[in-house]
Amino acid sequence: MRDPVKDLRPWRDAEKSLREITREYPSFPKLIALKIDAQRRGVVYTPKALAAVDPTVHMTTVRSDYYDKEDLSPVSLILDDGTTVFTEGVLADIGLEPYVVDHDGRNAYLLDNDAPLARVSYWEKPAYYAKTTAKGRPMWQVVSARPQRLTIHPHQYCDFWKKPGQGCRFCVMATNYKAYGKEARLLVEDIIETVGEAVKEPGGYQSVFLTGGTILSGATPLDDELELYLAILKGIGPLFGGQKFPSQLISTAFSLPQLARLKAETGLTSYTADLEVLDAELFKWICPGKSRLIGYEGWKDRLAAAVGLFGRGRVNTGIVAGVELAKPKGFKSEEEALNATLKEARSLAERGVFVVSCVWRVMTGSVFARQRPPSLEYYVRLALGLDAIRREYGFLADMDNYRRCGNHADTDLARI
């Protein structure tokens, strides 16, 4: 019997299909494997699928540091088990055929080679998306919503890009900023007002999440970035009835004095600073600005220092899984890359820091736009490996799991 998700195209012949992966790794949930593959390859919508979008109900607009969208296609998808599939951004044409979303008049489905694989639904937008701030800013541009959290991107540019060649090679933040001509920083007053409207709505937001581009300025490097996050966290804290509330910050890796201020002056309950890739030499190549400012070992030391303040299991670091195989300087094989990445993840776990992975979505406008991500099997094995390390070291991952983020296949496995 012909496998409906495998044909004679070269890239399909070169790797195992979704069906083969789910047979070979029976403990790995099929819908999480499908989520990974859809994010890796992207999705497109048929006319019937687009006709089923109701812009009064579904989320079709988003503004963030790396993506601006105002058309009538859905922002992203949800699978039947609640797994979120992030389809934001414009993928580069790297020869991997995207999945297709189609609609039969009642339900939407994710298809590959015309075979329906899973039912999907479109993200619904919150009521505050239709409101504006007192200063006239549409609230959807200030705070975006996932099904489970509020997301704030207060600085939508990265200072590393001010010097040519210093931005991360997979990133499209500078491209997006220049394409839309938007201001770099949001007004703190707009953010506080918008969060205030969002929390009035009944629903299931599990946390507030902040992240943005690096701000290098200040009396010491990153001081101005710190001050921006302090102002936001102090401003929205009272909206939750007290100083502490479920929250996550992804920032540049702050120094110990800066981290101490975050802990002492805000209700922040967890901390993240993304290494992006777990290899010292590749860090220099892929993240040159981060490498020059802090360095690979320095970044890890700052993460470990954060554990002393926030506690084990409340500090993690994200990687753009797959960039470690980027040519020409990346690992030469998936096996080599997997072993090296998991070895480094274990060394971080020994210091109280756990690793979460995002699928490398090769974006138009990035330095790596002509690269190709690794196979689905690589991502499945990486997720299983990171999940095993997290369980071994007793990290619950509740700060960054499927309920509070939804972007990490490895923490999706915490549901099991």
How many domains does one find in the chain?
2
Asked if residues 310 and 304 have their Cβ atoms less than 8 Å apart, the reply is no
Domain identity same for 280 and 332:
yes
Domain identity same for 158 and 82:
no
Distance CA 239, CA 235 (A): 8
Domain identity same for 314 and 351:
yes
The pair of structure tokens assigned to 118 is 């899973």
Distance CA 360, CA 352 (A): 25
Q: Reduce the DSSP state of residue 129 to 3 states and report it.
A: helix
Please report, for the domain that includes residue 399, its CATH number: 3.20.20.70
Predicted confidence at residue 7, as pLDDT, reads: 42
Segment holding 337, helix H or strand E: helix 334-349
Nearby residues of 404 by Cβ (< 8 Å), 6 or more positions away = 148, 149, 206, 207, 209, 246, 248, 398
Decide if 402 is inside a domain: yes
Domain identity same for 116 and 181:
no
Residue at a domain's end among 122, 141, 175: 122
Predicted confidence at residue 1, as pLDDT, reads: 34
Domain identity same for 110 and 141:
no
Residue at a domain's end among 122, 157, 182: 122
Domain identity same for 109 and 181:
no
Expressed as residue numbers, the domain containing 338 is 127-415
Decide if 94 is inside a domain: yes
Decide if 203 is inside a domain: yes
Domain identity same for 192 and 72:
no
Q: In what order do the strands lie in the sheet with 43-45?
A: 43-45, 99-103, 108-112, 115-122, 77-79, 84-85
In 3D space, the residue among 46, 33, 112, 114 whose CA is nearest the CA of residue 79 turns out to be: 33
Domain identity same for 207 and 270:
yes
Which mean pLDDT values do the consecutive 10-residue runs of the chain (416 residues) have? Answer: 46 91 95 95 96 95 83 92 86 90 96 95 94 96 89 93 94 82 87 94 80 96 97 91 80 98 91 97 98 98 97 94 97 98 98 96 93 96 97 84 75 87
Predicted confidence at residue 204, as pLDDT, reads: 64
Domain identity same for 219 and 89:
no
Domain identity same for 181 and 281:
yes
Global pTM exceeds 0.75: yes
Residue at a domain's end among 71, 87, 122: 122
Decide if 23 is inside a domain: no
Provide long-range contacts, Cβ within 8 A and 24+ apart, for 335-342: 337/374, 337/378, 338/378, 338/381, 338/382, 338/385, 340/278, 340/279, 341/278, 341/279, 341/382, 341/385, 342/382, 342/385, 342/386, 342/389
The pair of structure tokens assigned to 28 is 């790995």
Distance CA 314, CA 319 (A): 17
Predicted confidence at residue 2, as pLDDT, reads: 37
Decide if 7 is inside a domain: no
Q: Reduce the DSSP state of residue 162 to 3 states and report it.
A: helix
Domain identity same for 333 and 310:
yes
Decide if 2 is inside a domain: no
Provide long-range contacts, Cβ within 8 A and 24+ apart, for 325-330: 325/373, 325/374, 325/378, 326/169, 326/170, 326/286, 326/368, 326/371, 327/371, 329/281, 329/282, 329/285, 330/282
Distance CA 261, CA 315 (A): 16
Domain identity same for 92 and 163:
no
Decide if 8 is inside a domain: no
